[in-house]
Structures are given as C-alpha cells and as structure tokens.
Structure 1
Amino acid sequence: MSPQDLYASKRMTAADAAGLIRDGDTVVVPTGVGEPPALLHALSERRQSLNGVVVSQILPLRKYAYYDAGTVANVRHSAYFYGGASRPGGQEGWVDFVPNYFSELPLLIDRGLTPADVVVSMASPMDEHGYFSLSLAPDYTMAAVKKARVILLEVNPNVPFAFGDCHVHISQVSGLVESDEALFEVGLPKIGPVQEAIGKYVADLIDDGATLQIGYGGIPDAVVMQLQHKHDLGIHTEMIGDGILSLIESGAVNNSRKNFMSGKMVATFALGSRKLYRHLHRNPALEMHPVDFTNDPYIAARNDNLCAINATLQIDLLGQCGSESLGSTPYSGTGGQVDFVRAANRSKGGKAFIVLPSTAKDDTISRIVPTLTAGTHVTTGKNDINYVVTEYGVAQLRGKSAKQRAEALIAIAHPDFRAELREQARRIKLL
C-alpha cells in the first residue's frame, strides 16, 4: 500500500479518533503548541463515557472542557509541568502532578514508569515518503510514539516540516484528523525597567561565540533583547521562541562557532508567533529533537561556552532556588532548568544564570530570603547554583563558602531588605 493509500485509509473524524481511547488509558500530549485542539475537544466531548483516563502533558495552553473537577473520575489531567490551564486544578488538588526533570521524561516513558497508551499530537502534512513532522514538540512525544498502542495525529498545513529526530511514518499512525486552524501564538512579554536591568547584567557576561539556552519568561527574553549586538552566537535550547528569532534576524546568531553540531540550532519545542513557525519549515539550520537529546546535561555540555538563562521565584542565602511553587502552592514545574544549569556547569567556559527581580508584590516582599518559605519545592540546589542576577547586580556562588554566598546575595537584594537579611543571616549562623 502506498503512503497516500495508507493516509486515505486512516483519515477519520475527531470523534472517531477519540473513540479509539479506552478506559484506563494514559494519553500523552506534547508540550504547548504541539497539543492538538480538535482531538482534545473530541476527547472532552466523550469524557463522561470513559473511566480512569489520564491526560499527561507539560505546559498546556488551552483550557479544554475535560479540565473539570466534576469528571475527574472519567478523564483526569496529570501535569509534568503546570501551565495556565492546569494550574488552578493543581492548586485545588484535582489535577495530578508528576515531579520530573524534563530531560528524563523519555526515559520514564521508555521504562514504563509513567504510562503512554495513546499519543495525540499536531503534525505537519505528510511528505512524499510518508513522513509527518512533529516539529512543534518532539520532546517526550517521540518516546511515547514508540510505546503507545494508538497514535493519533492532527494534520494541519500551518505546522512546519522541521528536520531532526521528529518524524513519524504513516505506517505507525492509527488515525488522522485534518484541520487548518491557526496555530496558538505567544508574543514576547512586556519588558519593564527591572527586567531590562537584569538583562543588561547578564548580557555583559555573555561573550561573542557563546551558545545559548534561553528559558521561558520575561527576564530571559529581556536578556535576548540586549544580545543583538553580539556576534557568532549559537543556539542549543529546549524552547525556541520569538526572542531567539530576533537574534537570528539581527545576525547575532549564526551558529558558526558552535563546536557541537556546528551551523545548527537545536531545540525540543517551539512557542511563539506564526512568523517563528514559518521559520522552522524545512530550515536546514534548525533541528528539532527529543528532550533527552536537547536537555541531557552531558550532551548539551558538549557545546563550549554554553550560557543557560533561567528564572526563579525565590532564592535563599545558600543558593537554593524555588522556581516552581509559592510555598507549598504549586505554580509550574522543574522543566529544564536543572538540566541546563548542570549542562552549563559542565561546559568548557559555560555559565549558568538564575535571574529574578529582587522583590515581589510592589517591593513589599524580598525574593532573596534567609531560608525558603516552608513547603517550597526546591528546583536548583545549592550545589548546582552558579550566577544569580537581580536588578542590583550579579552574585557568582559556585565554589564559594556559605558565608560568602550569603554576603554576595545580600549585596544584590533590594536595599530596603539588606539590613534585615543580614540580621537574619546572623541568627541562622551564616554570618
């Protein structure tokens, strides 16, 4: 049977595709824009006829009807990382959470430690050889494709066909749904003076020829805005967004000095504008790979001068970062922060930056604290921390004593809190 004949035989409605999901199945959904709306709406519509179905995903973008406290016995969301759609349910207790390092999710799936019975994903149109590209998020999805009983693709002409390890053959597919809905777009965040000041401190420490990993959020994007005058930058990251696209367009990124995969940008998911998604299409300078390749600290560290830029919510005077919860209240997840901090630490000439505003709630709360708020989920530990940057400066903590760390962090805290932090540090015998 030709690929085209196979395609025709597997084309169906979204409702029929959702009908292939059985009671007790775990449905794996890609990160962000890789989530297939027609298929997930169809699953939501039939949820009351199902029992014990689990939907597992990092960073959902749309609030589908299955996010429903009244039908969690039918279909329940299990978050690898909370997004705007899943966070309320997580905070209320009816959305589950699986702690993980982003880089290890394929391993967890491969070893059966987290199930993958069904995969649903956005996909590019099929090429003449019968291959689809899961270009928007191969992440852990490619590992799930190898394990799943059922693979359902939502084929959309707006999805780019990217190169890399992100392809699925028609012979692997159980059902195809066609749609032409515009892809979800996420613009660059608003940059204020605090973010701009932090961005400048970090940008000043990034040399020409460095390879970048840019995390998600306003401050990492503020760094990007101030790198456009740099030369010969490279990209090895988990997320490719419009900030990185702006560096490409300015000429700052050309990947020419990368010593690992020279000339190539590498990422595991895309999140940005239509312009970004078009840039991915058959671009020979870009490869999309599973997250156990992009985020593996050993692999990423093969890039010399790797600079990793990630944000946190709170940091204590030893350097422990709480990047995923507000006290015991869940907010996001570990994601790839620890993966790339460790990668940058291993990289020859690498630098790992953790960035945060010095305060929260209109300067009434210091984000630099003597000890993390009770219940805080520790993300980056004290043994991994390297550079910490606020709008008041840079603290380099790696290799420093506990006393030196406390002094360095107090020096970049908001001036209104420094005396209090110093007194509290004395009480806990750090000073």
Structure 2
Amino acid sequence: MTITLHQIEAAVDEVLARIDGPIVLGMPLGIGKPNPFVNRLYQRVKADPSRQLTIVTALSLEVPSGHSELEQHFLGPLVERVFQDYPDLDYVKDLRGPGLPPNIEVREFFLKTGDYLTNELAQQHYISTNYTFVARDMLGQGLNVIAQAVAERVVDGQRQISLSSNPDVIQEVVERFAEADKPLLTVGVVNRQMPFMLGGALVEPAFFDLLCDDPAGTHTLFAPPNAKVSTTDYAIGLHASSLVADGGTLQIGIGSLGDAIAQALILRDQHGDEYRRILAAICPQGLQGRELSPFRQGLYGCSEMFVNGFLQLMQAGIVRREVFADPTLQTLINEGRLDPRQLPPNVLELLAEEGRISLPPTPEDREWLQRFGILDGEGRVGPRLTGGVCMTGGFFIGPGDFYERLRTMADGERARIDMTRIDFINQLYGKDAEETHLKRVQRVKARFMNTTMKVTLLGAAASDALESGAVVSGVGGQYNFVAMAHALPDARSVLMLRATHDTPDGPVSNIVWSYGHTTIPRHLRDIVITEYGVADLRGQNDGEIVKRLIAIADSRFQPELVAAAKSHGKLDAAWQLPESWTHNTPQALDAQLHPFTQAGLLPGFPFGTDLTADELKIVAALRRLKKATQHPVELVAMALRSLWENKEAPPAYLQRLGLDEAQGFKALFIKKLFAGNL
C-alpha cells in the first residue's frame, strides 16, 4: 500500500526506519533524481557513522561554477537566471571537494563528461556497463531503495503519476526484484516542474511504496544552455544529415553536434537548393549516394535520449512518421498497403487476411480494433489509426525552453512522444518474439548516430575513456545501438568525431594508428564521419579501411598516418596519398562554409540561447583568452597585440568580470588581454 507523505524529512525517517542495515540507494541518471530528498538522506547518514549509504546512479549534474576567478564572476548572474533554485547534490559537492565520509560511497555508470578525469574516488567507483544492463547490475549491487522525481496531476478526481524524464530503468528494476523475491523500497518525490509525460512513463500511484508531495521537492530542473555550433560541428552535421533516409528512423545525441544535425535536416527539408550548395562545397568528390530530398514521409525518432534537437525536428514537421504498437499494423504500413492517415473501407477484411482478427470480430478483436481507432464505439470504421507515436525516448534533458514546451503541450501532441523503458529502446530482442518483431518493423532505415573521441585506422573507436583507463563519461547505449545497426537489414551505425583536438602542445589527430582503449571493436565498424567527409567502412578490407579513414583525417596528420599503416603492413609501400585528399584543413573548411554562415543558414545557436548578446561577446573573448593561456607563444603574441592596440572594454563587461577596479600587474594585464580579445 502506498503511503503519501507531505514532508521530505518524514520520507527520510520512513526509509531509515524500514532499512535496518546499510542502505543501497538507486536513482536514475540526469534530472530524474529527487535532489532535496537525496540531500536530506545523505546528511542524515553523514551525521550518523553507524549507518552506511551506497548511492548507485549516473550523470549527477551540478550547476557550473567556473574554474578561474573570471569565470566565476561571469557565471554568477547567468547561473542565478538560468538555474534559479536548482539544488546541487550534496554528495557531488563533497566528492569534488573534501571527499565523501567513510560510511558513504557513490557508484556511477556514466560520469558527467570530462569532469572526473582526475578524481580518484570517482574513477575507482565507476561501473562500466551497457545501459541495458543497468537494471540487472542494480540487482547485483544489492539495491534496497530506489528513489525518483515524478510528475503528478489529478484528472476527474483520480491521481495520476508520471515517471516524466526517466522511465528508463525503474520499471525493469522493480520487475527484476519481484522475480528474484528480493525486497525493494520504492520512493517517488513529486516535483511540479517535471513535465507530465504519457505512454510508458505512466504508472499507478501504487507503483511506489512512498510518495512524497512536499513543496520542497519542487525546484527548477537542471537546464544546460544550448552549446554554440561551430563550423566543424556544422560540417559533421551536414555530412550526417545527408545519410538520413526519408521514411526512416533516427537517433541523435545532446550538444552542439546533435543541434548541427537537426539544423542540417531542417535546411535539407525547407531550403533544398541552399542545402545542396552547402553540401557540394564540402564534398569535393561529389554528392553521389547522398540523401538530398525533402522529407515526404518524415522520420521516426528512436533514441535513448530525447533531446531538444528532436523537439525542433518535430516542430519542423520532419520527425512525424508514426509507428504503432502492433507488428501486423506496422508491417502493412511499411509495405504501403495501409495508410494510417486514411483507413480504407475494407480494412477489416485486410486485417482478417493477415490473420490479425476474425470476421466477424470477437470481443477481444473489437477491443483491439477500438484501441487503434479502427472501429469507433458504434462499430463503424474510423477515419485513421490512433495511438501512433513519432518519438520514443528513455530519458530527456535540455534547455529551459525545452522543458517549458513539454509542460505546455496539449495531451494529444504530448501523446506522440512515448517516454519508455531503456530495455525496449536500446536493444532489438524483447520480452517475446512479438515484441522483437515489432521493434524490427518500426525501426526501418535506421541511422543511429553517436559521437566518439578516437578512431583507429583499422576502425575501432574509443568513446568513453582514455587509453590510461581514465573514464571520460561512460558507454551508455552506444554499443547497443552500433550492434543494432548491424542486426537490422537496412540500418547504419554512424560514429562522428572531430578530426583533431587541441592540447597544450598543439593540435593532435583523433584518427590514430592505434589506441589503448576500445568502446566499439573494429569488427563492428560501419560509417565514420569527420568534418572532412564520410568513410563507409562496412564490409571493407583493412587496406581499404585505412585509405578511407586517411581521406577524412586532418591533412596535417595524413603523412604520419600513411607511414604508420605502411610500417605495419596495412598499406602497400608504393601507395601514394592522392593530392585531392590533402586539403583537409580548418582554414579551407572555414572558407567553404563562411558564405553560408554569413547568409544566416548556419547560425551559431540555431535553436536559441539563454545567453544575452553581451554575454556571448564576453564568452567569445574568454574562450580566446583561455585557449591562448594553453599555448605560450600564442599568449605572448596576444599580449603584444593587446598592448599595441590599447583597446578598452565596456565598463559593464569589466564590472561583470570583476575587472572594473583591477589593481596590480596581473589583474591589469588580464583586463588588457580581455579588452584586446573582444
């Protein structure tokens, strides 16, 4: 029986009373954590050395604070405006600062990207696992409590509960514990800022043992502002968008690359001539084999993460291909024998021929027919199928206007988004043969797009950790989607990476001969994209794969890649690098895309930004300054230029950065450098 509590303190009391020994608390990743409840439990256990607490979760988010004094001054007003009353997690603060108390441990299966590279405690307690194995592994970790932030509403006097942003693993966890006959205390904490999502996110109030409806549980959701889309990002996104088949299935991720792909798809659909000109500019080998047409059928989004890019594609009318939760219906639609928007008069005969129903329909048949709108309450054939969805996601995170749009959607529009379980999304095999078949017929012409950090010349990819073993983020669902792309007959896996990255010693290539860590093994190699092009690796021999990857590498590093491949016998000693491949430089790429940026087709923030125009100018100057500090020669040149030009920054900018009353050589020097970089 569900107990409703109206104070977080009372919910914590209940947990401490019910669990005699060590508490092993599971929580969803991202914004689904009930932060106020977790913080109170954490502080109670921290103050009582006789109790033990282990937290099993992922992606614990923290409000940005800035590393330098300049960044801290700049971020203060922005954080106050964007994050408002979002409460940071106390265990994150301790983990980053003085450390966790000896009676508390935190184990995460996905880390906030790059934030814990030098944090030994986080590195030692990281759990490397596929997203689809998280529920299984929580059982193995000895979980005895699981807590989640939920949305609530009352309709016709009935209380309704939605798992909102995170139906990803909790239902599977509860099922596994029931099957194993192991006790599990389930805690739901209402946060009225959580969008009320439908579909697989709906649960009965009785799903939770404890439901806490304390106003203190409601707070602003963590809302990272949209990242700026660079020229490099746009080039990658444009290449990726030209591989997406109309009538197909799409997965993309969060961040600037996801936004670049979404914007490129919108350009392709709404500005076809300009899109082809842009693509031709960055495809010197021609556009053969690229998808260039607008979206007549539309796309179905199927992604572990429902991100703002998908919402933008829905609003643009591109993600609109509806799929239905029945393999017979979906197969008929795929074959063009059934139009879901206009049912034929003989639809019952068609379904009977397929063996889906009997004629006349049985009571069970009638219930099924009414579920999909094929028959109305009077037994007449309806105008169109109902219950279709065009977006399936396991969790979401995005900027503030993304959440607000979800909160204010009409139910009919929101019902087209099915937030559901990760064991349905991230793998093909289901609980039975029918579910497995359903996934296969829904996910036609799928393009599963993921980012990676390094690709070897033989096609292996490293996406989650460095060769030292230091974890950057986590595997998440990447391996599953890559494997799924090989299991579906018309799907492709697309791994995207920037050709280089900057280090204090200068740029280095992200395409390398070998690397001491692998996320995706070489036998699952498929399509790799950099800003310089597309390498189709599927089914190719090693020598050809080496050539195709060198063709999309930065030209500054191509000679050493050729030499490495030859020294290991993977390239013929007489092979020469074609001259047409030797123009892969940032300068050439910028020249190719600059006219289209100037024309407003490739904006830095295609879907808006939380930053003001002045803040964008300050950020740009700070980025240039930060980059220069990592390269002494560049810093000296910048300093000389700033002193020579003797520019002055607007007083409001200086005040924002705490430089308005700068004194001493260092502060005055930084002030001058900042002004010179505006």
Which residue in 1 is equivalent to 2:60? Answer: 60
RMSD: 2.4
Deviation of residue 200 (structure 1)?
0.7
Given the alignment of the two structures, is residue 402 of structure 1 paired with residue 542 of structure 2, yes or no? yes
Which residue in 1 is equivalent to 2:487? Answer: 346
Q: Which structure 2 residues correspond to residues 129-148 of structure 1 after superposition, within 5 A?
A: 129-146=158-175, 147=177
Equivalent residue for 2:317, pick from 251, 263, 282: 251
Q: Would you say the 8 A contact 2:453–2:463 is kept in 1? A: yes
Deviation of residue 408 (structure 1)?
0.9
Given the alignment of the two structures, is residue 234 of structure 1 paired with residue 263 of structure 2, yes or no? no
Given the alignment of the two structures, is residue 213 of structure 1 paired with residue 265 of structure 2, yes or no? no
DSSP-derived class of the 1:184 partner = coil
Letter in 1 for 2:30: G
Moved over 6 A (4+): none
190-199 or 208-217: which moved more? 208-217
Equivalent residue for 1:157, pick from 182, 187, 192: 192
Q: Size of the alignment, in residue pairs?
A: 420
Q: Would you say the 8 A contact 2:223–2:398 is kept in 1? A: yes
**Matches of 1:100 and 1:325, distance apart in 2:** 13
Given the alignment of the two structures, is residue 174 of structure 1 paired with residue 210 of structure 2, yes or no? yes
Given the alignment of the two structures, is residue 358 of structure 1 paired with residue 358 of structure 2, yes or no? no
Given the alignment of the two structures, is residue 421 of structure 1 paired with residue 565 of structure 2, yes or no? no
Q: Would you say the 8 A contact 1:28–1:55 is kept in 2? A: yes
DSSP-derived class of the 2:148 partner = strand
**How does the TM-score come out when normalised to structure 1?**
0.90
**Matches of 1:397 and 1:185, distance apart in 2:** 37
Which residue in 1 is equivalent to 2:511? Answer: 368
Q: Would you say the 8 A contact 1:47–1:71 is kept in 2? A: no
197-206 or 212-221: which moved more? 212-221
Rate the CA distance shift 1:94–1:383 in 2: closer, same or farther, 3 A.
Answer: closer
Which residue in 2 is equivalent to 1:269? Answer: 395
Q: Which structure 2 residues correspond to residues 97-108 of structure 1 after superposition, within 5 A?
A: 97-108=126-137
Which residue in 2 is equivalent to 1:384? Answer: 524
**Matches of 1:113 and 1:47, distance apart in 2:** 23
Q: Would you say the 8 A contact 1:17–1:176 is kept in 2? A: yes
Q: Would you say the 8 A contact 1:28–1:144 is kept in 2? A: no
Deviation of residue 167 (structure 1)?
3.3
Rate the CA distance shift 1:310–1:72 in 2: closer, same or farther, 3 A.
Answer: farther
Which residue in 2 is equivalent to 1:121? Answer: 148
Given the alignment of the two structures, is residue 194 of structure 1 paired with residue 192 of structure 2, yes or no? no
Which residue in 2 is equivalent to 1:74? Answer: 103
Deviation of residue 257 (structure 1)?
7.2
Question: Which structure has more helix as a fraction of its residues?
Answer: 2
Letter in 1 for 2:242: D
Q: Would you say the 8 A contact 2:251–2:447 is kept in 1? A: yes
Q: Would you say the 8 A contact 1:90–1:97 is kept in 2? A: no
Rate the CA distance shift 1:94–1:208 in 2: closer, same or farther, 3 A.
Answer: closer
Q: Would you say the 8 A contact 1:106–1:291 is kept in 2? A: no
Which residues of structure 2 form unaligned runs of 5+?
63-87, 178-182, 270-293, 325-329, 332-386, 430-435, 572-678
Question: Which structure has more strand as a fraction of its residues?
Answer: 1
Deviation of residue 72 (structure 1)?
4.4
Given the alignment of the two structures, is residue 203 of structure 1 paired with residue 346 of structure 2, yes or no? no
**Matches of 1:334 and 1:152, distance apart in 2:** 27
Equivalent residue for 1:96, pick from 98, 102, 125: 125
261-270 or 417-426: which moved more? 261-270
Q: Would you say the 8 A contact 2:190–2:211 is kept in 1? A: no
**Matches of 1:358 and 1:92, distance apart in 2:** 32
**Matches of 2:231 and 2:390, distance apart in 1:** 33
Rate the CA distance shift 1:370–1:85 in 2: closer, same or farther, 3 A.
Answer: closer
Larger Rg: 2
**Identity fraction in percent:** 25
Equivalent residue for 1:17, pick from 11, 16, 23: 11
Q: Would you say the 8 A contact 1:66–1:76 is kept in 2? A: no
Rate the CA distance shift 1:336–1:88 in 2: closer, same or farther, 3 A.
Answer: same
Which residues of structure 1 form unaligned runs of 5+?
none
Q: Would you say the 8 A contact 2:45–2:52 is kept in 1? A: no
**Matches of 1:244 and 1:291, distance apart in 2:** 18
Letter in 2 for 1:98: I
Deviation of residue 47 (structure 1)?
3.1
**Matches of 2:218 and 2:456, distance apart in 1:** 48
171-180 or 87-96: which moved more? 87-96
Deviation of residue 366 (structure 1)?
0.4
Letter in 1 for 2:91: Y
**Matches of 2:258 and 2:310, distance apart in 1:** 10
**Matches of 1:166 and 1:186, distance apart in 2:** 23
Letter in 1 for 2:256: G
Which residue in 1 is equivalent to 2:662? Answer: none
DSSP-derived class of the 2:392 partner = strand
**Matches of 1:57 and 1:414, distance apart in 2:** 38
Letter in 2 for 1:173: D
**Matches of 1:107 and 1:360, distance apart in 2:** 36
Deviation of residue 163 (structure 1)?
1.8
Q: Would you say the 8 A contact 2:262–2:313 is kept in 1? A: yes
Letter in 1 for 2:416: A
Q: Would you say the 8 A contact 1:233–1:257 is kept in 2? A: no
> Could you give the per-residue CA deviations for residues 147-190 of structure 1, whole angstroms, max 9, x where no partner exists?
36222222022212222223343333224142331212123321
Given the alignment of the two structures, is residue 311 of structure 1 paired with residue 451 of structure 2, yes or no? yes
**Matches of 1:345 and 1:65, distance apart in 2:** 42
**How does the TM-score come out when normalised to structure 2?**
0.58
Q: Would you say the 8 A contact 1:304–1:350 is kept in 2? A: yes
Rate the CA distance shift 1:326–1:394 in 2: closer, same or farther, 3 A.
Answer: same
